[in-house]
Amino acid sequence: MRAGTSRIITKKGRITNKKGYFGKFGGMFAPETLMPALTEVEAAYKNFRADDHWQSEYQRLLESYNGRATPLYEAVNLSSKITDGKSRIFLKREDLNHTGAHKITNALGQALLARFMGKERLIAETGAGQHGVATATVAALLGMSCDIYMGTVDMERQKPNVFRMNLLGARVIPVDSGGKTLKDAVNEAIRDWTKSVKSTHYAFGSVLGPHPFPAIVRDFQSIIGKECRKQILKAAGRLPDEVIACVGGGSNAIGIFSAFLKDKIVKLTGVEAGGKGLHGVNHAVRLTPSPYAKPGVLHGTYSYVLQDHDSQIADTHSVSAGLDYSGVGPQHAHLFDTGRVTYTYATDEEAVNAFKLLCETEGIIPALESSHAVAYALKHVPALKAGSIVVVNLSGRGDKDIYSVAKFMGTDIL
C-alpha cells in the first residue's frame, strides 16, 4: 500500500481508497490488479492537461475533425408552438458533432491521453454501439488498434453499428455472459484491462467507473458548457433561467451543467428515462426516490444503482439505448443529494412524442436520449413566466433511432 492513502476492503473483497469522491459517492472500487493502472492514468492525465502541445492538438482536432464549437440554436418555431413565443428555447447542437453525438469529444480526448501514455490499443464497452463507434473512429484516426466489448443481445439489436465498427477497423468482441448487454460488456472490458494494462487504455464512455474516470470524462465534456455559456450570453445578453439535459451515465449533462454550477440563479434539470412508468423497474430512473434506487457499488464506483429486493442489480428498460443503464455517475448522485440539480424523468411515450414534434417544428431529428430532455421542456416551459430563457442540450441526432421509433409507432420500415 502506498503511503497517504487509506484503503478499505469491502464485503465483496474490492478495494477502495479515499480518492475521487463527490460527497460520499464515487471512489475507486477496483480489483487490486487494476490499482496501479488507475494510479497511472490519474498521474498521466494531470501531465496531459498541463502539456501545451497535447492540449493544442486536442483543440485542433476538436475544431477540424469533430466540428466544434457546436452551435447554440434558438428554436423559435418550437417556442411559438408551445409558449406562443412568450419564452425562448435554445438547443445546444451536440447532434452536429462528427458521428452524431457528444460522445466523440470524450473518445477523442481519451485516445489522445492513451497516446500520451504510450499505449497502442484502445478498449471500450458499448451498449447501443454509440460509444463503440466513437472509440473505433478515433482509433482509426490515431492509428491505434481497438477492441469493443458488446453483449450478444445488443449486437443483434444494433447490427448496423457492429458493421460500422468493423468498417472503422475495430474488432467487436461478443459478450455472452449474464444478460448479454451493457453491464456484462463492462465486466469483460475490465477483465481484459487487468491483463493488458501495459499496452492498453480503457476508454470509459461516460462519467462512470472508478476514479479518475468520472472526473476525466467530465473535464472532456465540460467544453459543452463552456461554449454554451458564452453563446447564450451573446445571444440573449444574460444567463439562462434553466438548463436541461438527459441523464444516462450523465456525461452530456455534467458537460453542460459544469459551466453553470456556481450560478445559483440557473436552475439545472437532469431528465432520466421513465420507460413504461415507475411501477416495478421498467425504467432507468435512479435519482427519483423509489424502493429500487439505492446506493451501491457498480463497475467501480459508489452511486445510486437500481437494485431488486435482493439487492441484485436490476435490469432496466428504456426506448433509448443510451439511457438504459442501472447505475449513474457519482457526481450526479452527489448533486441529487445536495439538491443543486433537480432530477426528473420522461416516459418512452413522452420522449417519442417530443421526437416527433421536434422533427415537425424545427426539421431536426433528435436522438431518443435527447428527446427525453425535450419532452420535459415541452411539459415545463409553458408554465414558466413570460420572458424565460431555457437551454436544452441536444446530445445527439436521431437517425440511428428511426427503427425504434417506427417500431414504437407500430410501423415496420425494414
Ligand X SMILES: *Cc1c(COP(=O)(O)O)cnc(C)c1O
- What is the x/- site pattern for ligand X, positions 350-379, by CB under 6 A? -----------------x-xx---------
- Respond yes or no on whether the N-terminal peptide bond of residue 210 is cis (omega within 30° of 0): no
Residue 386 CB, nearest approach to ligand X (Å): 31
What letter represents residue 94's amino acid?
Answer: E
Minimum Å distance from CB 340 to ligand X? 17
Q: Give how many residues touch ligand X by CB under 6 A.
A: 19
Q: Examine residue 249 and tell whether it contacts ligand X (CB under 6 A).
A: yes
Strand partners, 390: 89, 242
Q: What gap in Å lies between CA 33 and CA 26, rounded to an integer? A: 19
206 binding ligand X? (CB under 6 A) = yes
Distance of alpha carbon 405 from alpha carbon 401, whole angstroms: 6
- Structural contact between residues 216 and 202, judged by C-beta atoms closer than 8 angstroms: no
The secondary element (H helix, E strand) that includes residue 391 is strand 389-394
Ranked by CB distance to ligand X, the top (closest) residue is 396
Residue 401 CB, nearest distance to ligand X (Å)?
Answer: 9
* Closest of 342, 336, 334 to residue 26, by C-alpha: 334
Active site residue 395: yes
Classify 190 as helix, strand or coil: helix
Please report the beta strands in 152-300, taking only residues with DSSP state E, as ranges in sequence order: 171-175, 200-202, 242-246, 267-275, 293-298
Options 125, 242, 362, 369, the catalytic residue: 125
| Touching ligand X, residues 62-121 (CB under 6 A) | 101, 103
Reduced to 3 states, what is the DSSP secondary structure of residue 294?
strand
Binding mask 126-155 for ligand X (x = CB under 6 A): ----x-------------------------
- Whether 125 sits among the annotated catalytic residues: the reply is yes
Interatomic CA distance for residues 166 and 72, integer angstroms: 33
Residue among 210, 225, 248, 330 that touches ligand X (CB under 6 A) = 248
- Which lies closer to ligand X via its Cβ, residue 148 or residue 197? 148
Inter-helix orientation angle 35-50/103-116, to 10°: 100
**Taking CB under 6 A as the criterion, which residues in 250-269 touch ligand X?**
250-253
For ligand X, the binding residue among 190, 246, 268, 357 (CB under 6 A) is 246
**Beta-carbon count within 10 A of 223 CB:** 24
Determine which one of 251, 318, 395, 404 is catalytic: 395
Q: Is-catalytic flag, 103?
A: yes
Among 26, 212, 240, 322, binds ligand X (CB under 6 A): 322
Q: What residues make contact with ligand X under the rule CB under 6 A?
A: 101, 103, 130, 206, 246-253, 322-323, 367, 369-370, 395-396
**Residues identified as active-site:** 103, 125, 395
